[in-house]
Amino acid sequence: MLGDGAVVRRPGRHPANSSAYLTLSRKAEDSIAVMPISPYAELLRTADMRVTRPRVAVLEVVGSNPHADTDTILGLVRSVLPEVSRQTVYDVLNALTAARLVRRIEPAGSPARYESRVGDNHHHAVCRSCGVIADVDCAVGETPCLTASDSVGFTIDEAEVIYWGFCAQCSTARRQSTAPVSFPPGSRTQQSS
């Protein structure tokens, strides 16, 4: 008899890569139904991290909600794992950041944000009005601002640049709110001017 939660591979029942499948049932005799293992579980294994439900859930949330803050991540994780604590989510985010599976960014005046786009040294643009954050690919060609004038003994492997301004939506709203008001010819407001 197999132990509780064992994976059962039956010839002809699973795809060729049956190692990527888990049983839905905890009872070996009912283990015909299968479901694929999350790609996030494989990502954790590749990083030599233990696969836990909170870690997989946090990776899924960060992967589908780039630049989310901790409270947003916590709320979304709790929608699938209601029992998870705030401290667990903080611990998972710290572990995933240390393993470089997620990246933590901290724009001035904003809580820490997390994203799953790692390892490519991209930058960010932050809207001064609504706070939306967008990825900006690293400049190509000559980029003097990304080369330190003096490395002061550091081996520099990344430059974090944050561009500040107004997103397209807020720029449009600002232009509309500062545009002079025009009144139709002959209206009372125009006549009283």
Q: Which of residues 15 and 183 earns the better pLDDT score?
A: 183
Domains observed in the chain: 18-105 (1.10.10.10), 120-178 (3.30.1490.190)
| Tens digits of residue pLDDT in 86-101 | 999 999 999 999 999 9
| Tens digits of residue pLDDT in 3-32 | 343 333 333 333 333 344 443 334 444 444
Number of CB atoms found within 10 A of residue 58's CB: 28
Q: Kindly tell me if the per-residue pLDDT of 108 is higher than 50.
A: yes
| Tens digits of residue pLDDT in 121-179 | 789 999 999 999 999 988 776 666 667 888 899 888 777 889 999 999 999 998 888 75
- At residue 105, the 3 state secondary structure works out as strand
Cα–chain center distance at 152: 32
Report the pLDDT averaged over residues 54-73.
Answer: 97
Place of tokens 């001035």: 108
Q: Which of residues 192 and 121 earns the better pLDDT score?
A: 121
pLDDT of 29: 47
Largest Cα span, the chain: 94
Number of CB atoms found within 10 A of residue 92's CB: 23
Q: Which of residues 114 and 174 earns the better pLDDT score?
A: 114
